[in-house]
Structure 1
Amino acid sequence: MLYVLPETAGDLIVVQATDTLTAKDYQDIFIPMVEEKVEAHQKVRVLLYLDHGFTGFEAAALWEDAKFGMAHRNDFIRLAVVGDADWINWLAKIGDLIVSGETRHFTGSQFLQALHWIDGSDEI
């Protein structure tokens, strides 16, 4: 499940994933939001918070993510992936290969640091 957090404004998208991230989450929430913000701002900054209840991705969600990432690879200024699982660092590294903007992994306790970094107000 995907939730849009209140920090979302302008070209900044902040979302929280919990339980299982589904293809429907991408199709109904994430993709339309990114496309709307890209149309308005040309490029976006995204913070994806994978909370302690996050259990993973549906296979169809991974496919949606890959298709979306390739189609919009030049639309990101920065992408922050926040979460504590060991594999999240790997996910951020893959994101860094796909998107042209900067990508970083932050632990769950570094959520505010990630928010400052994504906003460009804290060059870590």
Structure 2
Amino acid sequence: MITIEQSDDLVSVAVLGEFTLADFKELEEHLLYEIRFHGRPNLLLDLRGMVSYTLDVAWEELKFSRDHARDFGRIALVTSDQWIAWTAWLQRLFVDADIQVFDDDEQARMWATEGLAAKGEAPQTGEEGD
């Protein structure tokens, strides 16, 4: 199961349980809409709740990354899983985006939204008075 939230140019995604092909297709549709109508979004992927993913998701993600290699600004991954962190490092070879791995959701969100302030959009950290 996934949840998707949109704010400014940041797409926040949390994966819970198994990441299925239906989940990926839902995410893909949302991202394609953002790319087409709003330009290069930043992406925050919280994978701490992901238990597993199916092989067809891995294949679709690889194809999507290849087809949209230049369509993202920053990609922040929140995970403590070393395998996912290593995979993110490998993705840098195929995607022309700034990719960082974080243990903490707030740090990831702050990093992913840094570029938004320069465009006149205040990052949303969830705290008053920032």
> What TM-score range do you get, normalising by the shorter chain?
0.7 to 0.9
- In structure 1, the gaps of 5 or more residues are none
Cα distance in 2 between the residues matched to 1:56 and 1:21: 6
Secondary structure, in 3 states, of the residue corresponding to 1:97? Answer: coil
| Structure (1 or 2) with the larger CA radius of gyration | 2
Cα distance in 2 between the residues matched to 1:74 and 1:102: 10
Count, aligned residues: 116
Instruction: Give the TM-score normalised by structure 1.
Output: 0.87
Q: CA deviation at 1:46?
A: 0.5
Match of residue 117 from structure 1:
111
Match of residue 42 from structure 2:
45
Q: CA deviation at 1:75?
A: 0.2
Secondary structure, in 3 states, of the residue corresponding to 2:52? Answer: strand
Q: CA deviation at 1:64?
A: 0.9
Sequence identity of aligned pairs in percent?
A: 27
Instruction: Give the TM-score normalised by structure 2.
Output: 0.83
Cα distance in 2 between the residues matched to 1:90 and 1:79: 14
Which of 56, 62, 67 pairs up with 1:66?
Answer: 62
- 1:3-28 deviations in whole A, cap 9, x for unaligned? 113xx22321000011111111111x
| 1:10/1:37 contact within 8 Å kept | no
Match of residue 50 from structure 2:
54
Q: After superposition, where does 1:1-124 map in structure 2 within 5 Å?
A: 1-5=1-5, 8-27=6-25, 29-51=26-48, 53-107=49-103, 110-120=104-114
CA RMSD of superposed structures (Å): 1.5
Cα distance in 2 between the residues matched to 1:98 and 1:49: 21
Secondary structure, in 3 states, of the residue corresponding to 1:112? Answer: helix
Cα distance in 2 between the residues matched to 1:16 and 1:65: 16
- 1:8-63 deviations in whole A, cap 9, x for unaligned? 22321000011111111111x21111111011222111111012x32121000001
Q: CA deviation at 1:2?
A: 1.1
